[in-house]
Every structure is written in structure tokens, then in C-alpha cells.
Amino acid sequence: MFLTISTTGTPERPATDLGFLLHKHPGKAQEFTTSHGTAHVFYPEATAERCTAALLLEVDPVALVRRSQGKGKGRGGAPDTALAQYVNDRPYAASSLFAVALGKVFRSALAGTCAARPELPGRPRPLRVELPALPARGGGDLVRRLFGPLGWDSVRTEPVALDERFPEWGDSRYVRLVLEGELKLDDALRQLYVLLPVLDDAKHYWIAPDEVDKLLRAGDGWLAAHPEHALITARYLARHKRLTQDAMERLELARLAEADGSEAGELDDAAEEQPDDTQRSVPLAVRRREAILAALRSAGAARVLDLGCGQGQLVQALLKDPSFTEIVGVDVSVRALATAARRLRLERMGERQSSRVTLLQGSLAYTDKRLAGYDAAVLSEVVEHLDLPRLPALEYAVFGAARPRTVLVTTPNVEYNVRWESLPAGHVRHRDHRFEWNREEFRAWAGEVAARYGYTVVYAPVGEDDPEVGPPTQMAVFTAAATDFSSATETPSATETPSATETTDTPKEGEAA
């Protein structure tokens, strides 16, 4: 099986720049070992006017059988077992095996990186991609439906006959595919990486949870808005119900974020949105982070706790400012922390940067020695997720035991809810909010906490401060009045909280800290 990628150029921008983008020299034929055979990269032509790179994968049928033993049945098993072990289409058609080879051989090109010529990956260029034998369960029409919305000027498919000597036998399920258009090379490669196994519809390896991350990374920027995203997701994940549902939920967040002009993680809470009738373009979640960062800088904080960090949006923002030398994200949900790690790309982060950030699993209802001694702690949209009787435990864990010099607390202002036309009267902004305070209730709570634990407190609006109902988010900035508060070590009773609408439900994992 093989694929060719061709481009044209000029003396100023030669076509041989393709070699830099692919990280493969046009003057050399190269070999790469894969789990199922040997991949070859060579250039049939390489001039300033036109350059073509070819990827040829020689599949070892014996290795394929040995690696597939025990996987021939069930979801994610070896494909086309009815063709028998040693006689099948894997050496000849661009299947999921070919997608794996593509990912290994052109890894840097897929990532859109080029150290030698960093300006090249960002430039669209004329591309022609040809696959002589592509398995297409759904035929040429499905191929065109999948590639057509992705920016190609031309998507041409030609059916491959079962046997040209016997035309009455009809066409096979294979097509010859030619794509032509002006795209960035990494975009084209990521499309192929996802859609080749989708069209093959028979992955040769077991589908593990990390396949969702692979799909979303490769589909970043195009999959969420694709009209066939549901079909692509289901086939790529071998119709694994739980993984498909997870991927679809994350794609929906990405789609809504793109429409709203915000990040996907900003849309996991109704409180992140702006009112329907607003003309402001900056999402409330962004304004909230900006206000928190400004307050932390004003306090001179360098070592910061993000308590109830969720999916890591604030941690990500803190990492962009080198003045924050140590950042610790804490959440009760292991799943939320895993999402935060993916968002931050911790596995790819350099040693110097990764030394600044730590993610910890823990509940804020209990004291934790790991949280002591920090300059500042942030409780952003956290307190409203706890039942009121549990608030005193959180207050003691943060203000009494951890005792950071500065504590920032943000929470919705319930008075502002009338400005959201889409929010029914009497409803809180998120289904897991146990209460939402008005400005008087919030200040009463914050004042009592400050007095009990030896802090001073000031208040600041976040978002537009409406003259009638106040801001959408209210923030309290607590500052330690002294370094030793031995009298403030007694855990308060659960009744010392201001009045609010009280519920008896327990927080859901990932929603409360």
C-alpha cells in the first residue's frame, strides 16, 4: 500500500520545501520499522517546480497474525478474519495499519513543527494526495462526504473493479482517491490519520481509552464542525459506546466554544456564558480569570493554590505568567484532574515548565498538610457547589489550616440572573449549584470568615457592574492581618453561615471541590 503527496513551487518558494515539512530529505530513500512491517519514504521527483513524496508500507502477514492472536473476535479485533490469516487486503490497501505508519513516520509533520524552517508549517500550499487503493465501506459517496467539507478543491474517487477481466463482477469496496487543494500539510495529514481507519472501518488493534485523546488531537480544528462528526467518531472508536459518548461530549464542548469564541473548558458551566442580549465579546469566564490574575499579581503571590481546579483553565492561565513560580491544582475528581493534565499537555511539557505545576487529588472538606505555606489560594466558582452545612469544614481547611497569605473567592451573584433571558426564573445557573448568594449574603459570609480567622476582606465586581443588580460574578479578596493566629484554630459549627436556599443533595464527582 502506498500514498503520494505532491506540491508545486517557485524559485522563491521551491516545492522541495516539502522535504523540510516532512522531515525527510528528498535525496535519500529511508526505511522505518513499524509493528506490522517496514515503511519506506522516497521521492519520485524533487525539483523547485514540483516535488512528490511517497510513503510505502510493506506489511509482514506473519507479524500481523502473531500480533493479532486473541484479537480476532470482539470490538477492536483484527479485521477481515474471513479472508483467512495470511491472505487478506492489509498489504495492498490503505487501512488502519497505514494510518499508524503515517503517524509514526511523519510524527513531526503531523504536529506541524519544523525546527529548521519554523515559518513553513503555517503556510497553506498546493497539495495533491493520491491513494491508489483505499478501503471505503460506504463507497465513493462516503469518501466525498468525509473529505469534501475539509477545504479540498477537488475530491475524486474512482471505483476499483473486482477483476478487470470480468467486468460483470462489478466494483470492489476499494476506490482510488485523489485530493487536490491548498491546505497546510499538517492539516492534510491529520485528516488522513483519522479518516483512513474510519473508511476502512476495521481497526487492527484493541481500542483503549487513549484513542479518544488521539482522535481529538488529530481532529482539532475540523472534527467538531464536520457534518459527519458522529459517524467519524463512532467508526474511529470501533463503535465502543462509552468511548464514543465521551468523545462526542468533548466535541460538543469544542463546537460550542468555537461558536462562543471561548475555550471548550469555559462552557462546562452555564455561569461561563454572557447574557443573551449583551454586546460584549469577552466571555465571563475569561474576565473572571483576568480579575483573579490581576488580584494575585497585586498581592505579590508567587506560589498559588487553585482549589477546585476542575479542568485546569486557571492553572493553564497561571502557567503563562512566569511570576507564578509554583502552581498547585487541587480537585476531588480524578477524572477532572486527568482532563486538566491533557489540557496542560503535561506529558509533553518541558522539565523546567513542568516543575512549576502539580495536580493533586483531594477534598477541601478536610485539612491537608500539602496545602500549607502558600502565598495565595483561589476558590473560583467552588463554594456554591457545596451544601451549606459543609462550608464550615472548607473554611477551616483553607483559612484555618492551610492559611495562605491571600485567599480569592469568586461566586455567582444571584441578583444578576434576571439578565439571562435563557435562564428560567428561580433557577440557579448550574444544576449542581447548591445555592447562589446575593451581594448582601456573600458579604455577610465573607465578613464572618475574615473575622473568625484573622483576615481583612475587600470586594470587587467581575464583569459589568449593573447599577440595579450588580455584577454577574462577585469576588472577595482576603488578606492575612498577621502571621500567627493561634486563636483561630477551632473548627466553627456548621450553623455559622448566612441564609441561602439550602439543599440536601451531595455534590457530584467533578462538580464540587
CB half-sphere exposure, 126, CA atoms < 13 A: 12
The pTM of the full predicted model, rounded to 2 decimals, is 0.52
447-472 residues labelled b (16+ CB within 10 A) or e (exposed) = bbbbebbbbebeebbbbbebeebbbb
Q: Where are the alpha helices (DSSP H) in 27-77?
A: 61-68
**Which contiguous run of DSSP H or E holds residue 41?**
strand 37-46
Share of the chain above pLDDT 90, in %: 47
Q: Report residue 59 as a C-alpha cell.
A: 506489511
Which position has the grid cell 469534501?
A: 148
Q: What pLDDT score was predicted for residue 136?
A: 83
20-29, 62-71, 133-142, 347-356: the lowest-pLDDT one: 62-71
Mean pLDDT score, 34-41: 84
Range picked from 65-69, 78-82, 474-478, 487-491 for highest mean pLDDT: 474-478
SS3 label, residue 295? helix
Q: Roughly what angle, to the nearest 10 degrees, separates helices 241-260 and 229-236?
A: 140
How far is Cα 373 from Cα 401, in angstroms, rounded to an integer?
10
CA 394 to chain CA centroid, nearest Å:
30
Residue 469 pLDDT grade (very low, low, confident, very high; cuts 50, 70, 90): very high
Sequence-distant (≥ 6) Cβ neighbours of residue 283 within 8 angstroms: 260, 261, 262, 266, 272, 273, 274
Decide which of 169 and 93 is more confident.
Answer: 169
Mean pLDDT score, 328-353: 87
Residue 475 pLDDT grade (very low, low, confident, very high; cuts 50, 70, 90): very high
Residue 205 pLDDT grade (very low, low, confident, very high; cuts 50, 70, 90): low
Residue 462 pLDDT > 90, yes or no?
yes
CB 29 within 8 A of CB 150: no
Residue 63 pLDDT > 80, yes or no?
no
Residue 156 pLDDT > 80, yes or no?
yes
Q: CB 499: neighbour CB atoms within 10 A?
A: 12
Q: Report residue 337 as a C-alpha cell.
A: 484532574
Residue 271 pLDDT > 60, yes or no?
no
Average pLDDT of the chain? 81
Q: What pLDDT score was predicted for residue 150?
A: 93
Q: What pLDDT score was predicted for residue 503?
A: 31
Residue 94 pLDDT grade (very low, low, confident, very high; cuts 50, 70, 90): low
DSSP state of 31: E
Q: What pLDDT score was predicted for residue 506?
A: 33
Q: Can you list the positions of beta strands (E) in 323-464?
A: 326-331, 357-361, 376-380, 406-412, 455-462
Residue 231 pLDDT grade (very low, low, confident, very high; cuts 50, 70, 90): very high
CB 362 within 8 A of CB 306: no
Q: Where are the alpha helices (DSSP H) in 219-367?
A: 229-236, 241-260, 284-299, 313-319, 334-344, 351-354
214-253 residues labelled b (16+ CB within 10 A) or e (exposed) = ebbebbeebbbebebbeebbbbbbbebeebbebbbebbeb
